[in-house]
Amino acid sequence: MVSSKVDINKLRESERKFGKSHHRYSKEEVPKYRFPEKTMDSRTVYQLIHDELNLDGNPDLNLATFVTTWMDPEADKLIIENLHKNFIDHFEYPQVNNIEERIVNILANLFNVPDKSDFIGTSTIGSSEAIMLGLLAHKWNWRQERIRKGLPHDKPNIVFGGDTHVSWDKFARYFDVEPRIIPIAKDRFTIKPEDVLKEVDENTIAVGVVLGTTFTGEFDPVQEINDLLLKLKREKGLDIPIHVDAASAGFITPFFEPGFEWDFRLEQVSSINTSGHKFGLVYPGLGWLIFRHHNLLPEELKFYVNYLGDEMPTYTLNFSEGSSMIIAQYFNIMHLGKEGYRQIVDRMMENASHLAARLQESKEFHVINDAKHIPVVTFRFAKDEDFTLFDLSYRVRERGWIVPAYSLPPHAEEVTIMRVVVRENFTRNLVDIFVDDLLNAKRALKTGSIKTSQRSAREGHPVS
């Protein structure tokens, strides 16, 4: 949406300057995999790329993604106006940096930091970077403490469930930490608190808890895990931090269930990530990482950039980064306020409940998660069919809907489900049209030609 606006303006300008394209009747071959030797008219190139991208799915009908596909026109305007600003250039663009700082403050308060003057946070490219950075700090803190006590520090481990996003496995592998993965089961898709307790020991750098799992949208039992870790701290002196992966819930729960304690109100919760580009309602890529206390981010992990004579600390994996999405996040927060976010979240939750109810009423599907905490609905066939959910996923694509089917992670891999993320622009009207299309597609599979295919969640695109 954004880029086409920019391109159209540039196109018009170029048309005024150079007149019509000479390439309309061109027979020249356009190289795809090698650097072209010659220049090509910008309008021709625009058209070539534009036409090819028409083959992409329609983002508004993409029920697979958690990521925002629509923003206010005023947000689009700000995004375009700031596309050319590199966020890391704090000296040149001090205001963008100020805006980032304001958002970190806003989120730290939204997540109920105990001390309003003692927290630290940063923007990231997404939740994956935020998770890596959060866990890296915990690894560092664990090691420093072990060194201080003269204890071995060569075997760090991290405890999380099989229901976590792949970024948790990535962290363990990239940063050389033993992953202790608590299995889910074929009738339970989140972790049990007592299983956490079995896995933790003096080498545990952190426990991971997911609020809004990628697979079913459910919550790990954060309060119970916190209570057990608190007990462990009091009885055995083992102080193990919790990192909450609130990639999805971070911008939902504070508005939908403000009384639900999941954040820094829980004593062991030390860091939280959330995705600005999911229910923060900003386009990709933007994530946030907030630490409960300033000193949880070790000094050695901060790098300093020069800013108006001052040294500004940064904590990111990437150096250069766009400014637009940070500004867009600020726009949403200012424009919507808590009232606006609450209204949008309520509408999404209502539409998700409506979707779940219609699927259940059809008796064709069994609903696994009816959007209890976040607007995600997961379901499977009510009874065995001669075709699979993968077939249904392909079939319903004929109407433009992109809806993923996938098998669950190890220990529940025989369970195949479908997932719909109900975003702001998936209105009640569209929900009804979608359910009708889904039921029609299922009927057609029963009577028409059947093509069976298998795809696992870890293999392809569906689970993002």
Ligand X SMILES: Cc1ncc(COP(=O)(O)O)c(C=O)c1O
Nearest residue to 406 via CA among 383, 369, 378, 440? 378
Beta strands 303-307 and 310-314: pairing type?
antiparallel
CB count within 10 Å of CB 354 equals 17
| Cβ-Cβ contacts under 8 Å for 136 (sequence gap 6 or more) | 171, 175, 301
Report in angstroms how near the CB of residue 276 gets to ligand X at its nearest.
Answer: 8
Using the minimum distance from each CB to ligand X, give the nearer residue, 91 or 260: 260
Using the minimum distance from each CB to ligand X, give the nearer residue, 164 or 416: 164
Nearest residue to 304 via CA among 87, 85, 84, 88? 88
Report in angstroms how near the CB of residue 65 gets to ligand X at its nearest.
Answer: 8
| Cβ-Cβ contacts under 8 Å for 353 (sequence gap 6 or more) | 370, 371
Fill in the DSSP letter of residue 402: B
Distance of CA 283 to the CA centre of its chain: 11
Residues lying near ligand X in the complex (CB under 6 A): 66, 126-128, 165, 167, 210, 212-214, 245, 247-248, 275, 287, 464
Distance of CA 296 to the CA centre of its chain: 23
Using the minimum distance from each CB to ligand X, give the nearer residue, 210 or 328: 210
Using the minimum distance from each CB to ligand X, give the nearer residue, 122 or 275: 275
Using the minimum distance from each CB to ligand X, give the nearer residue, 129 or 391: 129
Report in angstroms how near the CB of residue 163 gets to ligand X at its nearest.
Answer: 9
Report in angstroms how near the CB of residue 70 gets to ligand X at its nearest.
Answer: 18
| Cβ-Cβ contacts under 8 Å for 145 (sequence gap 6 or more) | none
Report in angstroms how near the CB of residue 437 gets to ligand X at its nearest.
Answer: 25
Using the minimum distance from each CB to ligand X, give the nearer residue, 126 or 409: 126
Contact between 126 and 277 (Cβ < 8 Å): yes
Report in angstroms how near the CB of residue 348 gets to ligand X at its nearest.
Answer: 16
Phi-psi region of 380 (alpha: psi -120 to 50; beta: other; left: phi over 0): beta
Which residue is closest to ligand X by CB?
126
Report in angstroms how near the CB of residue 148 gets to ligand X at its nearest.
Answer: 32
Using the minimum distance from each CB to ligand X, give the nearer residue, 282 or 441: 282
